[in-house]
Amino acid sequence: MIRYGGRDRRVGRIPHAHGVCFAGDSDFQINCQELGTAMQADALIVKNGIYGTIRAHQKRHYPARVSGTSLENPDFVMLAKAYGFHAERVDSTGDFAAAFGRALTSTTGAILDIAISPEALTPRQTLSQMREAALASQKAKA
């Protein structure tokens, strides 16, 4: 159904369980044509506007040359509503809990379009820190 491309996880239907899929904005678009099939699932789109994992590789190996890893996202809320989902955009952390509650209790599947900074790609290092570390390492080798 909906697949998290970066980590190759799939979400299926488990009887009596509430399925929630977390997907990056790129991952979501890899399979969003399956929304009709996924109508009874809930999906949280973690939207950072980039192919983040690929961008991280670029920052680590070619820190001065980023190429083709920005996303032109559709309006995910409009897309989800077109399929008949309950859908909301979440722009701040404080709004998440209530929106997640509404998603879990909605009578249809639900999509939350959650904005997150591209810098927050990993818990240990920001994208800028990856770039700075790679530049310093290149300089040390030169």
Give me the residues that bind ligand TPP (CB under 6 A), please.
5-6, 24-27, 30, 48, 50-54
Q: Which is nearer to ligand TPP, 16 or 124 (CB)?
A: 124
Burial environment of residue 54 by CB neighbours within 10 A (0 to 12, 13 to 18, 19 or more) = middle
- Distance of closest approach, residue 28 Cβ to ligand TPP, in angstroms: 7
68 torsion bin: left (phi>0), alpha (psi -120 to 50), beta (else): left
What is the phi/psi pair of residue 81, to 5°?
Answer: -65, -35
Between 52 and 109, whose beta carbon lies closer to ligand TPP?
A: 52
| Least separation in angstroms between CB 16 and ligand TPP | 29
The secondary structure of residue 35, as a DSSP letter, is T
CB 12 within 8 A of CB 6: no
Smaller CB separation from ligand TPP, 51 or 85: 51
Residue 24 or residue 109: which is nearer to ligand TPP going by CB? 24
